[in-house]
């Protein structure tokens, strides 16, 4: 199986070009204002236009309503919807039917029960993406369901055979090769692990991440 590589949380034209040139198969754009990597709808179209046609674009969304979905799709070419905190298979199927796009469901992981919950959606979601489950936010703060920069216990995923499943959470150029060799996911997904500073992508780290994943 060919390994898919997603570079997520891109906010600049330069980062998009670097990720595409490095060999990423997917580029993710976060549409969630509480995230430091949030892309305003007003600038999403400019970024989408920079993505080569052979690279898939992924809209990363948290419990999106139909209005947000419509606005995101109107901005330009979106190939995939990645949803967080959508815990209803009927809603996932409705998004697929309404948009005609594949829908990936992100699943936060801390225990084997979390893995099992993610696997329960495999019959409806087009891909299950296992990520580190974040801690509860401080009172009054907004919860951000991904981009924690932390790994989780990879042994919880050993034996997972769902086709194409994805691994996220704390991946870096230094550990992605180990993850690929150990777990053989269909996709690896990185955001904070290729940043020079919080929310600021590093061209060198993006290139190194893709190379390490490909050589595993």
Q: Which of 8, 46, 116, 126 is catalytic?
A: 8
SS3 (DSSP) at 35: coil
Structural domain 4-215, CATH architecture: Alpha-Beta Barrel (3.20)
pTM summary value: 0.92
**Does the annotation count 153 as an active-site position?**
no
pLDDT in tens, 15-66: 999 999 999 999 999 999 999 999 999 999 999 999 999 999 999 999 999 9
pLDDT at 97 over 60: yes
pLDDT in tens, 132-150: 987 544 344 344 455 566 8
Closest alpha carbon to 40 in 78, 6, 68, 81: 68
The b-or-e profile of 170-196 (16+ CB within 10 A means b, else e) is bbbbeebbebbeebebbbbbbbbbbbe
pLDDT given for residue 25 in this prediction: 98
**Does the annotation count 88 as an active-site position?**
no
N-to-C CA span, the chain: 13
Q: Which of 114, 131, 135, 189 is catalytic?
A: 131
Q: How many CA atoms lie within 13 A of 41 on its CB side?
A: 10
Torsion 178-181-182-183 (CA) sign:
positive
Closest alpha carbon to 27 in 212, 172, 194: 194
């Amino acid at each position: 199986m060919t390994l898919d590589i997603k570079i997520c949380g891109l906010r600049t034209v330069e980062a998009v070009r670097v990720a595409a040139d490095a060999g990423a198969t997917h580029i993710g754009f976060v549409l969630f204002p509480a995230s430091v990597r949030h892309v305003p709808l007003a600038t999403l179209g400019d970024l989408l236009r920079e993505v080569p046609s052979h690279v898939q674009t992924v809209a990363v969304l948290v419990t999106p309503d139909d209005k947000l979905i419509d606005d995101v799709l109107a901005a330009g070419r979106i190939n995939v919807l990645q949803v967080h905190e959508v815990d209803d298979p009927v809603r996932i199927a409705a998004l697929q039917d309404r948009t005609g796009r594949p829908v990936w469901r992100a699943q936060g992981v801390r225990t084997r029960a979390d893995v099992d919950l993610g696997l329960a959606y495999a019959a409806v979601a087009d891909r299950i993406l296992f990520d580190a489950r974040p801690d509860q936010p401080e009172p009054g703060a907004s919860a951000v369901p991904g981009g924690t920069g932390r790994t989780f216990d990879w042994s919880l995923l050993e034996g997972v055979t769902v086709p194409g499943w994805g691994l996220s959470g704390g991946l870096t150029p230094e550990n992605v090769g180990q993850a690929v060799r150990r777990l053989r996911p269909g996709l690896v997904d990185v955001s904070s692990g290729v940043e020079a500073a919080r929310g600021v992508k590093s061209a060198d780290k993006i290139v190194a991440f893709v190379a390490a994943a490909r050589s595993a």
